Amino acid sequence: NSKLRHVEKDVLIPQIMRDRAKELCSDKVQAFTKCCQETGFLMVVKCRKENSALKDCLVGYYSDPLFYEQCKTEYLKQREEYRATGIKKKKQKLTSNM
């Protein structure tokens, strides 16, 4: 049964999308983080370029219908595994070298 509840469409699948997009945009996440760490209080002004690149990357994924379908499929697979085993998949910690 692949019918989705409101919370799945509006919360759980978008969470997978955010997590995957952050992984796929990790180079831009790292560049923005590095800029902020090096700049301190002036980061709003000095890190505009890095912030724009990061936003563009993330929004590109969030607005891609194919990406949504991939994340929905991933969610349905996790849901099916959970229903079959009763074991919830642990959310993987994103590791980065920041």
- What value does the mean pLDDT take over residues 36-44? 87
Where does the pLDDT of residue 41 fall: very low under 50, low under 70, confident under 90, or very high at 90 and above?
Answer: confident
Q: What is the pTM of this model?
A: 0.77
Any domain includes 90? no
Phi, psi angle pair for 96, to nearest 5°: -145, 165
Q: Whole domain around residue 22: which residue ranges?
A: 6-81
pLDDT tops 90 at residue 67: yes
* % of the chain with per-residue pLDDT over 90: 72
Any domain includes 86? no
Where does the pLDDT of residue 91 fall: very low under 50, low under 70, confident under 90, or very high at 90 and above?
Answer: low
Q: What pLDDT score was predicted for residue 83?
A: 87
Any domain includes 92? no
**Count: domains in the chain:** 1
Helices 13-24 & 65-85, crossing angle to 10 degrees?
120
Any domain includes 24? yes
Cα distances from 31 to residues 56, 62, 66, 70, in angstroms, run 14, 20, 27, 27
Could you tell me the two tokens for 52? 């724009």
